[in-house]
Amino acid sequence: MSSSLVVRAGDLTERFSRSGGPGGQGVNTADSRVELSYDVAQAPGISPTLRARLLERLSGRLVDGVLTIVASEHRTQLANRRAARERLVEVLGEAAKAPPRKRRPTKPTRGSQERRLAEKKRRGATKQGRQGGWE
């Protein structure tokens, strides 16, 4: 059973502000920094099990159930919007992955046990040969 996550554009909230750092003529006028917010706790269309998994795995990044992605590495608002959306897809996709299968404990094979014991005997014989002293 694979549960897919669909994020609608209407479920996203975007805020724009001025990017920090050095700039040129347009640095004081362009609101190119993007804050993209997605309310994981209240978003429609997420199954209860997937929502619980997302809330658990993203707990360190959520503020009141809302995931916020900030992008300001590009000079244009459009490029930062694209980068923020790509990062949101990446973060949600990683958090939504099914948990890894549990490891089934296995016994060592007879051959591996015999090889281990033979190696122990060989090492013991080597060390035994070093004894005897210098009389």
Q: Is 125 domain-assigned?
A: no
Edge-first strand listing for the sheet containing 62-63 = 12-17, 33-39, 66-71, 62-63
d(CA 122, CA 2): 52
d(CA 130, CA 110): 31
Residues spanned by the domain of 73: 9-96
Residue-wise pLDDT tens digits, 85-107 = 999 999 998 888 888 899 999 99
pLDDT of amino acid 1: 42
Q: Is 109 domain-assigned?
A: no
CATH no. for residue 16? 3.30.160.20
Model-level pTM?
Answer: 0.65
- Would you call 14 helix, strand, or coil by DSSP? strand
Q: Is 127 domain-assigned?
A: no
Q: Is 55 domain-assigned?
A: yes
**Predicted confidence band of residue 75 (pLDDT cuts 50, 70, 90):** confident
Count of domains observed in the chain? 1
Q: Is 25 domain-assigned?
A: yes
- Would you call 24 helix, strand, or coil by DSSP? coil
109's tokens: 């094979």
Residue-wise pLDDT tens digits, 78-88 = 999 999 999 99
